[in-house]
Chains A and B, each alone.
Chain A
Amino acid sequence: MSNPNGVVYLLDDEPGMVKAVTRLLRANGFEVRGFTTPSSFLEAFRPGSDSCLILDVAMPDLDGLHLQRRLTHEGILLPIVFLTGHGDIPMSVRAMKAGAVDFLTKPVKDTDLLRAVRAALVRAAEQRETAAISVRLTRLTPREREVMEHVIAGKLNKQIAFDLGTGEQNIKIHRGRMMQKMGLVSVADLVRIAEKLGIGGKRDWHHDWH
């Protein structure tokens, strides 16, 4: 079975549970790091690589929902799978609304847990990609950004040149630079990413300019 690469962090105040889940995940080829206190986890956690967190809801020092909020607040995009001994519906709704990947109750079946962890790691990879593109997006000049929005809207260079009141040759240069800066080769990739980032498509630029 091929699993996505990445680190699975595991936080549960019950050492026996940490041990058991670690064994289960390792037997399935995941890299697991287990913790029994939020502080030890926060100390060891390094953003960067794709990772996710299996989190117990009820812990003495800091409950899982608070930790989730805190991570979000600090801008750490870490997909979370909740695992609780005694969850209720309001609690799970809160967790899911706050962006949890899944909300599982103990005892948890191996298939449920593995599926949730895989989904979490996939989401982590996507989030990383999106974050990287967002950074690239900031490097575009305003003109390049304008050109990009027109490209996403499906316009030809000639149309863009007309809309922006410049020569087609200029547009070609801007377009080339934009694609280079975004690290993309095809317009299809650009459109897919733009959708993810929520840019373009929403406004009818053509209409706006006339």
Chain B
Amino acid sequence: MRVSDNQSPVTRGNGCRTTRLPHGKSHRIVRGPRMACSLVAVFVVLTAVCAAGSEPKRVLVVHSFGSVAPPFTTHSIAFETELVEKMGKRVDLDEVSLDMARYADSTLQEALVEYLQKRQSHWQPDLVVPIGSPAGVFVAQYRDRLFPKTPILYTGMDRRPLPPDALEKNAAFIGENFDLPGFVEDILQIAPATKNIAIVIGASAVEQYWAAAFRKEFEPYANRINFIWLNDLSLDQMLEKTRALPPDSFIFLILLLRDATGVTHNADEALQRIHAVANAPINSIFQHQLGLGIVGGRLYQAEHEGIESAHIAVRILHGEPASSFPPEIVGPLSPRYDWRELKRWKINEERLPPGSVVLFREPTVWDNYGGWIIAGVSLCFVQAVLIFGLLANLAKRRLAERSLIASEGRVALAADAAHLGVWEFDPATNEVWVSDELRDLFQITPGTDVDYAAFQERVYPDDQPLHNSAIKRAIETKGSYEIEYRVLLQDGTVRWISGRARCMSDGDGRSTRLLGVSMDVTERKRAEKEAMEQRDELFHLSRVATLGQLSGSLAHELNQPLGIILSNAQAAQHMLAGDAPDIPELREILADIVGENLRAGEVITRLRALLKRGETRLLPLALNEVIEDVLHLLRSDLVAHGVTAESKLAERLPDVPGDEVQLQQVLINIVGNACDAMAENPPGDRRLRISTSAESGAVCVSIEDQGRGLPNGDSSQIFEPFFTTKSHGLGIGLSICRSIIAAHHGRLWAEPNKGRGVTLRIELPVIALAAS
């Protein structure tokens, strides 16, 4: 037996976790020798002296277990702290520990009785407080020998293990009355699907008592729930078990003081270890364990009971007879739960009984810092407004400064630097003032006066009407213009000029002048022309390549009329060889031959147009006709691919500016791609739809296939040069198509169809743009 250190309860309260639990009647007790009556008499006298005098009241706390045995120690610390709080120095606290987890042996108990008897000759308690049922049972058992007259306060225990007459002799009781089935009900409340409950409990005597009690009380649930008792395992084995429980399991921790292998444990620490590995939620009995890993329910609170028992102790020490206190049962708290565990095991809060308290909610950032966030955002906003205001102010001022500088001579500087010719025309006097740069540009002799006619004379004859009308209109409308035109220099060279001018009026609006700048853009024009020629060459080459792919079907287009011609001609020969040739039939034959011959000629003409090398020329074009031509040209190709083409061409489609041959090329390319894309479809399931429609200011052509769709669903990739999914071909077809459509100021893009396949759309503007 071990006597616990006589520490100050206050200091201990900080460091220890105390678990107090019900204890069982665990052992046979051998009666020891009775104490001498004289000793009893001495005690009584001493007690009386103490009570009467200013001597501190003596309280002996009998612990069931060691100093770190939750939940008992939770209770005892609260009791001792509260008692000292209330009594101050008027209380003298001593304690003794049975340490029943380790020393549940009757011979040791007997030794303890003797020890306590000897002790009492020196120090006799005014109140004995057994905490926990092992202590309660011990005190009730040996009370006559040890404390026949001393009041007893039984606490921290269930009443059931105590002998029935324990409370009859000068004793008070404050404890629990565990609702054992209630623990199962609490589990089913939050996890109705539970099929297995693993019971964690140790193997010490008190634990054996409670294991038996629980087993009995759980019997009614046996048909619904499989109870897995872990009391014959070591803690390590228990951990292994709880690591891999079957689905729909729950763990119920009753108490763990000493496991089956004789190792003592701290139940709270054991709980945390189980929580770390278990694959099922855990519940236990005591409120102080909420937060250590249990889900929660109706929990019993050791601390509150400790405080309440201290209050009763004070009243007894102040003279109230212990027997005047009716037994007090401290019930469970209203249900309370650990929010984190509810989340972890996905237990819906709606399952919790009404009036439940959910603890350990994790506050959101908003909950924590809502105020700060609002303040911060407001501050940023105010700052942004201020900064913006200041910047706007600054920008305005700078702008004003700049325009002032510009109005004073920056023009001249810039004009000089950029080789801009500046001129000013006064319609009233017909005079034109020109800068030196302009004289250089137009090769006007320095020093000579320039009038409008002389100025205009320099413009290339073909461009004079354009230049003239632009100036006139600017003056009439008091507006401005921007044109590109050519000047013809004296040596016959042509210079491209980009000219801009604006009409400037005086305040009264009468006197009007035209201010202009002219810039030499010959180099740019030349580069543009070169680029355009290269582009046309590229278009041509790709067209030739396209036609190469079509050669097979073109042969068919030619062989068809040739075949008809040959058969007709030979039929005529055979008829003529007969006796009575049918002259009307022969006439028809000749007509057919002529017709087919013309048809073959058309095919050749169409081919030549496609093969022709030429610059891009945008002329008014009926797109429907272009499409029909292309479908005709491709007819045999479509047939060879087993593709059925349906065209739905809008009536009265406006003409678009376009290059017929190039647009044909684009369509041939797109239709060819569509045929290739549908090659894997079964025959009869290769449909191509071409439709036209008039949009606002544009004409739209849609070519829809039912093929395998865009590679990776990416519609932009297919227009990249050298992108191809075919085994043949360079992958430049669509890239060139897009360039051609761009040269038409239109757009070409691909859209995946809702079902399968792709629709390529061409949009060409109706309004003629300046021919490039």
A interface residue numbers (CB < 8 A to B): 13-14, 16-17, 19-21, 23-24, 26-28, 58-60, 63, 66, 85-86, 105-110, 113
Q: Could you tell me if A60 and B640 are in contact, using CB atoms closer than 8 angstroms? A: no
The answer to whether the Cβ of B555 comes within 8 Å of any Cβ in the partner chain is yes
Provide 15 A-B residue pairs closer than 8 Å at the C-beta atoms, listed in order of the A residue.
A17-B560, A17-B567, A20-B563, A20-B565, A23-B567, A23-B585, A23-B589, A24-B568, A58-B636, A58-B640, A86-B555, A86-B556, A86-B636, A108-B563, A110-B574
The answer to whether the Cβ of B746 comes within 8 Å of any Cβ in the partner chain is no
Residues in B whose Cβ lies below 8 Å from that of A113: 567
Within B617-653, the residues touching A (CB, 8 Å) are 636, 638-640, 642, 644
Q: Could you tell me if B592 and A19 are in contact, using CB atoms closer than 8 angstroms? A: yes
Given contacts A58-B639, A85-B563, 20 further A-B contacts (CB under 8 A): A14-B560, A16-B592, A16-B596, A17-B563, A19-B564, A19-B568, A20-B564, A24-B567, A24-B570, A27-B575, A58-B556, A58-B636, A60-B638, A85-B556, A86-B552, A107-B563, A107-B566, A107-B567, A109-B566, A110-B574
CB distance from B679 to the nearest CB of A (A): 14
Interface membership of chain B positions 428-458, coded 1 if the CB is closer than 8 angstroms to chain A and 0 otherwise? 0000000000000000000000000000000
Q: Could you tell me if B639 and A20 are in contact, using CB atoms closer than 8 angstroms? A: no
Task: Say which residue of B559, B571, B592 sits within 8 Å of A24 (CB atoms).
Answer: B571
Q: Could you tell me if A106 and B560 are in contact, using CB atoms closer than 8 angstroms? A: yes
The answer to whether the Cβ of B683 comes within 8 Å of any Cβ in the partner chain is yes
Task: Say which residue of B559, B566, B573 sits within 8 Å of A86 (CB atoms).
Answer: B559
Task: Say which residue of A28, A85, A110 sits within 8 Å of B560 (CB atoms).
Answer: A85
Residues in A whose Cβ lies below 8 Å from that of B595: 16
Task: Say which residue of A28, A85, A109 sits within 8 Å of B574 (CB atoms).
Answer: A28
Q: Could you tell me if A86 and B585 are in contact, using CB atoms closer than 8 angstroms? A: no
Would A108 and B640 be within 8 Å (CB), given that A27-B574, A86-B552 are in contact? no
Q: Could you tell me if B567 and A86 are in contact, using CB atoms closer than 8 angstroms? A: no
CB distance from A58 to the nearest CB of B (A): 5
Residues in B whose Cβ lies below 8 Å from that of A86: 552-553, 555-556, 559, 636, 640
Task: Say which residue of B568, B578, B640 sits within 8 Å of A20 (CB atoms).
Answer: B568
Residues in A whose Cβ lies below 8 Å from that of B553: 86
Q: How many Å lie between the Cα of A26 and that of B582 in the bound state?
A: 12
Residues in A whose Cβ lies below 8 Å from that of B565: 20, 107
CB distance from B485 to the nearest CB of A (A): 54
Residue ID in chain B nearest A25 by CB atoms: B571
Residues in B whose Cβ lies below 8 Å from that of A59: 639
The answer to whether the Cβ of B562 comes within 8 Å of any Cβ in the partner chain is yes
Would A107 and B559 be within 8 Å (CB), given that A17-B567, A28-B574 are in contact? yes
Residues in A whose Cβ lies below 8 Å from that of B562: 106-107
Q: How many Å lie between the Cα of A86 and that of B553 in the bound state?
A: 7
CB distance from A69 to the nearest CB of B (A): 11
Residues in B whose Cβ lies below 8 Å from that of A85: 555-556, 559-560, 563, 636
Q: How many Å lie between the Cα of A19 and that of B639 in the bound state?
A: 21
Residues in B whose Cβ lies below 8 Å from that of A107: 559, 562-563, 565-567
Q: How many Å lie between the Cα of A206 and that of B349 in the bound state?
A: 95
Q: Could you tell me if B636 and A110 are in contact, using CB atoms closer than 8 angstroms? A: no
Residues in B whose Cβ lies below 8 Å from that of A28: 574
Q: Could you tell me if A106 and B636 are in contact, using CB atoms closer than 8 angstroms? A: no
Q: Could you tell me if A17 and B636 are in contact, using CB atoms closer than 8 angstroms? A: no
Residue ID in chain A nearest B644 by CB atoms: A60
Residues in B whose Cβ lies below 8 Å from that of A66: 683
Q: How many Å lie between the Cα of A105 and that of B555 in the bound state?
A: 11
Residues in B whose Cβ lies below 8 Å from that of A105: 559
Task: Say which residue of A13, A20, A63 sits within 8 Å of B567 (CB atoms).
Answer: A20
Q: Could you tell me if B571 and A27 are in contact, using CB atoms closer than 8 angstroms? A: yes
CB distance from A24 to the nearest CB of B (A): 4
CB distance from B643 to the nearest CB of A (A): 9
Q: Could you tell me if A14 and B564 are in contact, using CB atoms closer than 8 angstroms? A: yes
Q: How many Å lie between the Cα of A14 and that of B560 in the bound state?
A: 8
Q: How many Å lie between the Cα of A112 and that of B428 in the bound state?
A: 90
Residues in A whose Cβ lies below 8 Å from that of B570: 24, 109-110
Residues in A whose Cβ lies below 8 Å from that of B683: 63, 66
Residues in A whose Cβ lies below 8 Å from that of B552: 86
Residue ID in chain B nearest A15 by CB atoms: B564
CB distance from B689 to the nearest CB of A (A): 15
Residue ID in chain B nearest A83 by CB atoms: B563
Residues in B whose Cβ lies below 8 Å from that of A60: 638-639, 644
Interface membership of chain B positions 516-556, coded 1 if the CB is closer than 8 angstroms to chain A and 0 otherwise? 00000000000000000000000000000000000011011
